[in-house]
Amino acid sequence: MTARIIDGTALSRHLRAGVGERAAALRARGVIPGLAVVLVGDDPASAVYVRNKVKACEQHGIRSVLETYPATMTQADLLARVEALNGDPAIHGILVQMPLPRHLDAHAVIEAIAPAKDVDGFSVASAGELMTGLPGLRPATPAGCMKLIESTGTDLRGKHAVVIGRSNTVGKPMALLLLQANATVTVCHSATPDLGTFTRQADVVVAAVGRRGVLRADMVKPGAVVIDVGINRDEGGKLCGDVDFAGVSQVAGYITPVPGGVGPMTITMLLVNTLDAAERAAG
């Protein structure tokens, strides 16, 4: 069997067209959706991510404000900036790019963001809303993975989904979103013995570990949906995910590529969250 490729770039294009329409509708009402992106320090990968987020906003009718600060910025100054953005009615979403320089307390910064503007969905309030099934802003990467799974036409009710990874930003919210969609969910992680025992039972596997080669062909049930969140480099320096794509695509029913799978969906869902926040603020 050769898996069908889930094209995250094409799905993103489709969803972003909807974002553009919603942004235009808000603008027609005199509301310009606004996202503030705060970058502290000079991590080169963060600079690329932030640039892509700002560019995507510009292309889809969202005003973005990029604030960049030196790595020496103090916690007090960063919290003061977040407070100012919380009180700025032209800003509907606030994103503080992670990781922050080590002397800064990321948790305290995330908690300082007004829950209504927490478009990353990383705060305790947003996590609690997800946990309890209340409406709210969901973390972009797992929300994007759900859209990718939905696009295959898979009904998750009663299916077994295995999430590999337990981070607060991907693994844990991913498990909760799958649970909310009535899947039976198993969360595997670095202390899980014999990962394949679990993944071979899975109708859906989401790999979010950040290490290549975590999921190989002999660990996958024929026909399964495989979502690869990983962004790694192979020994030749080429971008690759957590999944052995060449092998697993011979067994799976559907698979996301890297690049062109989850990556574009993360930014797309950030745009969707910003629109959700702006629409809620506009009433």
Contact residues toward ligand GUN (CB under 6 A) are 49, 95-98, 120, 140
**What are the structure tokens assigned to 190, written together?**
């670095």
Distance CA 250, CA 279 (A): 43
* Least gap, CB of 168 to ligand GUN (angstroms): 11
* Least gap, CB of 197 to ligand GUN (angstroms): 31
- Going by the DSSP 8-state scheme, the letter that residue 115 receives in this structure is G
Which residue among 53, 147, 159, 221 is the active-site one? Answer: 53
Known catalytic residue: 238? no
* Least gap, CB of 61 to ligand GUN (angstroms): 21
For the chain, the distance separating the N- and C-terminal CA atoms, rounded to the nearest angstrom, is: 50
Q: Decide whether 5 or 231 has the Cβ nearer to ligand GUN.
A: 231
**Three-class SS state of 54:** helix
Known catalytic residue: 250? no
Which residue among 117, 118, 120, 242 is the active-site one? Answer: 120
Q: Give the residue from 87, 83, 88 showing the smallest Cα distance to 96.
A: 83
Q: Decide whether 49 or 245 has the Cβ nearer to ligand GUN.
A: 49
Burial of 232 (0-12, 13-18, 19+ CB in 10 A): middle
| Backbone phi and psi for residue 5, each to the nearest 5 degrees, phi listed first | -80, 130
* Least gap, CB of 8 to ligand GUN (angstroms): 15
Known catalytic residue: 42? no
Cβ-proximal residue to ligand GUN, closest one = 98
Provide the annotated active-site residues: 53, 97, 120
